[in-house]
């Protein structure tokens, strides 16, 4: 025997009050390596949502310094007790992943005008593809305004001090990785 439910009854059964709805934000990135700027965006992002999904983008077209597993481990070490941070990986279209995890918002950090131009293009395309998912921009703190993962790797490979730019867990792994890479070149 099949039971039919009319649309009004279905809406009533599935209605969720605003107080019960969980706010999920998605913070995607390569995090190769995780910088203090990333950590700051994650910490500030937590004040805006109930759960923050930090998703490492798996892009086979790039040659990262750290494997996805190594980047995930660094994130676990930096946020070991934060229950509202969920660590994942994904590939493909960002808005499809946002829908899959039922994210209400995509969190992005901005450092400079160049970031804004690129990020606003991406946000507008994402809005066109998934109007139900908002993009939220957080300005980088002044101490991290100039820091990027690419720059951190470059400075580390050239023997510069990056200790103020990355969390200690990332610094230890980055130092070991640079030694490993320099050993292969010797």
Q: Which of 38, 71, 153, 173 is catalytic?
A: 38
Total number of residues shown for the chain: 186
Residue 9 has, within 13 A of its CA and on its CB side, a CA count of 4
Q: Are strands 51-57 and 85-90 parallel, antiparallel or unpaired?
A: parallel
Q: Which of 3, 4, 15, 62 is catalytic?
A: 62
- What is the helix (H) or strand (E) element at residue 41, kind and residue range? helix 36-45
Q: Which of 58, 84, 111, 127 is catalytic?
A: 111
d(C-alpha 178, C-alpha 38), whole Å: 21
Q: Are 148 and 29 in contact (CB under 8 A)?
A: no
Q: Are 107 and 138 in contact (CB under 8 A)?
A: yes
DSSP 3-state of 12:
helix
62 has catalytic annotation: yes
38 has catalytic annotation: yes
Q: Which of 71, 108, 144, 149 is catalytic?
A: 149
Residues contacting residue 144 through CB under 8 Å, at least 6 positions apart? 35, 36, 37, 40, 111, 165
Catalytic residues: 38, 62, 111, 149
């Amino acid at each position: 025997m099949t039971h039919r439910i009319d649309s009004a009854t279905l809406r009533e059964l599935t209605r969720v009050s605003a107080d019960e709805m969980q706010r999920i934000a998605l913070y995607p990135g390569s995090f190769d390596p995780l910088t203090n700027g990333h950590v700051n965006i994650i910490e500030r992002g937590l004040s805006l949502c109930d759960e923050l999904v930090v998703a490492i983008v798996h892009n086979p077209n790039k040659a990262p310094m750290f494997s996805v597993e190594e980047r995930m481990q660094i994130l676990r070490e930096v946020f070991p007790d934060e229950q509202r941070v969920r660590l994942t990986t994904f590939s493909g279209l960002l808005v499809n992943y946002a829908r899959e995890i039922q994210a209400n918002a995509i969190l992005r950090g901005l450092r400079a005008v160049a970031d804004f131009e690129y990020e606003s293009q991406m946000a507008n395309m994402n809005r066109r593809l998934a109007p139900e998912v908002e993009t939220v921009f957080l300005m980088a703190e002044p101490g991290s305004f100039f820091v990027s993962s690419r720059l951190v790797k470059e400075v580390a490979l050239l023997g510069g001090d990056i200790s103020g730019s990355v969390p200690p867990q990332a610094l230890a792994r980055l130092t070991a990785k640079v030694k490993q890479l320099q050993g292969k070149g010797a």
